Amino acid sequence: MNDHAQWNDTVGAYLLGALPPDELERFEAHLAECVTCRHDVEELRSAADALPMSVPSVAPPPALKGRIMAVVESEAELLAAAGRRADEPPETRASAPATRRRRRGLGGWFLRPGVALACAAVLLVAGGLAGALLTGGEDTRTVVAQTEVSGADVRLELEDGRGMLVARGMPAPPDGRVYQVWVKRPGQDPEPTSALWTVRDDGSADVAVPGPLDGVEAVLVTDEPQGGSDAPTRPPVISAPLA
Amino acid sequence: MQLVRRGQAPAFEVIYERHSRAAFSLAYRMAGSRGVAEDVVQEAFLSIWRSGARYERARGSVRTWVLGIVHHRAIDALRRSIVHEKRRASDEGLEETFETGERTDVEAARHEEAATVRRALQHLPADQSQVIELAYFGGFTHTEIAEMLATPVGTVKGRMRLGLEKMRHALGSGQVSLG
């Protein structure tokens, strides 16, 4: 479908991120075939890339770095405990159709909906990530968990030092596996809990996190073989930072 | 960036230190609220952490790559409509701040680059800069902009392309580096 004339003026909207999703998909398909459009995109990309330079420079709050690094470090420790293979894209660990589609030029298997959903490794498509502290009474608060599972909404409800994971829109764990909850304390490997779970037909789950959460910096969820594991074998599907 | 692989938090921290200011500035410009900008930057950097090995050197500088991710995340946030009311209601000023100390030279160079890009934008015909700003910073699609301006979609797309072409000429090849 090398109908270049139809797309001639679309290059600008594409580079500005102004294409609706359906048109973006069709344009990217055309782009794969059209040398002229690829040339135009590369030529004009420098102008679009310069736009963020024009904004007033504003420093991020120092606390933001602390929040991000808390998640990064807890995941790094979890992955170290999980071993080297946890770092490999799911398609190398499981035979699964790899329907790859770049998401707006951002590669990365965490951003590939087709791969992630197809192999049901649960890992991480582009979706709502958040880590916000939503509410906070004296003894209760809700943390929006980090997850890139598309369409999933997972919160950790804390009350009197105990936690309840409330998940909505979660896919079932891969065949033969269950979700397992881990608690992560600073400087320590993630500790397994007895909370093994799957989701209801509608993708919902309410899971009590065993034990008090005093001193816990993050509650994590991985998918594990039936019966659970002593150390995580996969990267986290859900991460709820408490710091 | 080869170091930003899973398990190498210190390498990631370096990337954050280098680019978080530009990232936050862009997110703040788009969201108009510090809180939403923080969420966007957090989402973007965690996405980078989780997919850092996918940076493609051939496609541009790390800074461009990071800002591209921030831009997409901010657009997602805008289109989820979580921002629209907040940014309209925001009473926070966009107060420009500059770092002092050992990196002053870098900041000064970036300040100059920013001024160059602003001039290039300001010198565009108003109808072209308007659609570029609505699309890039406002997160609106061309159809939304066409409705807003009561202008055919084809015209809006044409203005976007023309505007970018003029900006490219104004900036000149290599004059404004995003590295």
Å from A85 to nearest chain B CA? 11
Is CATH 2.60.40 correct for A140-241? yes
Is A18 an interface residue toward B (CB < 8 Å)?
Answer: yes
What is the percentage of chain A residues whose pLDDT exceeds 70? 74
Instruction: Over range A40-68, report the average pLDDT.
Output: 91
Closest chain A residue to B178, measured at CA: A50
User: What's residue A91's pLDDT?
Assistant: 42
Average pLDDT, chain A: 74
Q: Which two tokens stand for residue A136?
A: 């906070």
Under 8 Å between Cβ of B81 and A113: no
Q: How many Å apart are CA B127 and CA B149, to the nearest integer?
A: 10
Residue among A160, A157, A163, A155 nearest A193 (CA): A163
User: What's residue B7's pLDDT?
Assistant: 56
Closest partner residue to B38 (CB to CB) among A15, A53, A61 is A61
Chain A positions in Cβ-Cβ contact with residue B20 (cut-off 8 Å):
60, 64-65
User: What's residue A200's pLDDT?
Assistant: 84
Say which range, A5-19, A150-164, A191-205, B50-64, has the weakest mean pLDDT. B50-64
Is A41 an interface residue toward B (CB < 8 Å)?
Answer: no
Chain A positions in Cβ-Cβ contact with residue B137 (cut-off 8 Å):
51, 55
Q: How many CB atoms lie within 10 A of CB B39?
A: 25
pTM tops 0.80, yes or no: no
Residue among A16, A56, A50, A40 nearest B171 (CA): A50
One digit per residue, the tens of pLDDT, for chain B of length 179 reads 444 555 578 888 988 999 999 999 999 999 888 888 999 999 999 888 877 546 665 566 888 889 999 999 998 888 775 444 544 444 344 444 544 444 566 667 777 888 889 989 989 999 999 999 999 999 999 999 999 999 999 999 999 999 999 999 988 854 444 44
| Chain A interface disruption, residue of B1, B19, B42, B112, most A CBs within 10 A | B42
A217-237, pLDDT tens digit by residue? 889 998 888 878 888 888 888
User: What's residue B54's pLDDT?
Assistant: 60
What residues of chain A, 136 to 175, have a C-beta less than 8 Å from chain B? Answer: 146, 148
Is A48 an interface residue toward B (CB < 8 Å)?
Answer: yes
A47/B25 Cβ within 8 A: no
Å from B172 to nearest chain A CA? 9
Chain A positions in Cβ-Cβ contact with residue B45 (cut-off 8 Å):
68
Domain boundaries of chain A, sorted by first residue: 2-135, 140-241
